[in-house]
Structure 1
Amino acid sequence: MQMNRRFLTRAICGLAAAASLALPLSVFAADEAPDAMIKRLSEETLGAIKADASLRNGDLNKVMALVDTKIMPNLDFRRMTAAAVGPQWRQASPEQQQKLQDEFKKLLVRTYAGALSQVSDQSVNIKPLRADPADKEVVVRTEVTGRGDPIQLDYRLEKTPGDGAGWKIYNLNVLGVWLVETYRSQFAQEINSKGIDGLIAALSSRNTANQAGKKS
């Protein structure tokens, strides 16, 4: 289950740019446009990360708190995990689905911790939104500039109904590659070989190795 580390670094830095460190999403979610949301969250978060050396150094307690309190509320993580697992998600039991979400989250958190050290002088430019006001799913296209070449970073968002209604991210694209689809191809190999429990075991093993400081 190898992954291009450069791709992951850019992808998780993108998630960092999409998370709010200053204000809860619910304050704005009811009537905030999706591109305005991404712009606000990007500016707030990049500024906060640049100011917090412990986050950039990968302090796992701070990273976990960041993910739990700020990033997860901005994601439809169940949809993200289901899409990464693919058709077999529907055959998984509720317990298996929860374990998949838990292990997938741990995998992203560890990668996120390593990627934060790459945040320095980046800024995010939001491109004009191509969507109808009535659309329930949109793509917000951005460009991250800083050291090196500009990075294309696009977000897929859905408008969720009911309590906490607003826009939530369920996929992101780095330089033309969608994060969920990248994981899906890897997860499919495990599922085809050993089933859902095999995928859970592989993710758990990788997370344990990462925690021990091993390269996987």
Structure 2
Amino acid sequence: MIASLLAATLLAAAPAGPLTVVKSGNADVQKAANAPGATAASLATVVEKFVDFGELAKRALGDKTWATLTPAQQKEFTDTMTGLLRASYAQKAIGQAQAEVKYGKEAVQGNEATVNTTLTLKKDQIPVDYRLYRTSAKSEWRIYDVVTDEVSLVDTYKGQFRKLLGDKGFDGLLTTLKSKRAQLEKENAAQSAKGGAAAPAPAQGTGG
């Protein structure tokens, strides 16, 4: 009996699997998005419980570029991108609040995983894959990338970062990101003041 109780305790304490993380995360987002007076800011608080914006930003920048930055630059970049991603991701979540989600396969390879889903929005069916990671076998799974209709969010930002780094350097990239973040946060604040949800972002990117 003691052995059974111990096994049950260990099972209960085990981190949720990737599919469970994605399911519960989507459920929480839909609930928050459908709440009266939902805003991008209120959704962002829910989203960042299961999406690791910092990891997404780091992977989009690339290990080689990341390694050339000072700790202060790494922190400033991560903070800026986290603010930008919170705003844009939450805006998109509001736009998809009424969508129906069908869950497919969960694939796990070591500390990386992919969860396949299909999003039905009106008459459109859109494949959406979530990529997750964990730091160890005992750590929680966190989403770091969303692939919509075969377009990866990390890869999209990576391409934009590469061009901006080539044209303007790191300081220019950071300035562009700060400007985009300020623009989104201003839009969100204006919508919050009106007591309504922000309009869904047409695309997630750094802009011009």
Could you tell me how far apart the structure 2 residues matched to 1:204 and 1:29 are? 40
Residues 88/173 of structure 1: CA separation in 2 closer, same or farther (3 Å cut): same
Superposed CA offset, 1:85-114 (max 9, x none): 122111011111111112112222332353
Q: Give the conservation status (yes or no) of the 8 Å contact 1:43–1:124.
A: no
Aligned to 2:76: 99
Residues 119/209 of structure 1: CA separation in 2 closer, same or farther (3 Å cut): closer
Q: Give the conservation status (yes or no) of the 8 Å contact 1:92–1:196.
A: no
Residues 82/112 of structure 1: CA separation in 2 closer, same or farther (3 Å cut): closer
Aligned to 1:143: 118
Could you tell me how far apart the structure 1 residues matched to 2:82 and 2:93 are? 16
Identity %, equivalent residues: 27
Could you tell me how far apart the structure 2 residues matched to 1:169 and 1:191 are? 26
Aligned residue identity for 2:79:
D
Aligned to 2:128: 153
Aligned to 1:174: 148
Could you tell me which of 190, 204, 210 is aligned with 2:164? Answer: 190
Q: Structure 1: which 5+ residue stretches go unaligned?
A: 1-27
Q: Structure 2: which 5+ residue stretches go unaligned?
A: 1-11, 188-200, 202-206
Could you tell me how far apart the structure 1 residues matched to 2:54 and 2:88 are? 19
Aligned to 1:165: 139
Aligned to 2:37: 54
Residues 46/201 of structure 1: CA separation in 2 closer, same or farther (3 Å cut): same
Could you tell me how far apart the structure 2 residues matched to 1:159 and 1:166 are? 6
Aligned to 2:51: 75
Residues 35/44 of structure 1: CA separation in 2 closer, same or farther (3 Å cut): same
Q: What's the Cα RMSD here?
A: 2.7
TM-score by length of 1: 0.71
TM-score by length of 2: 0.73
Q: Report the number of matched residues.
A: 178
Counterpart secondary structure, 1:110: helix
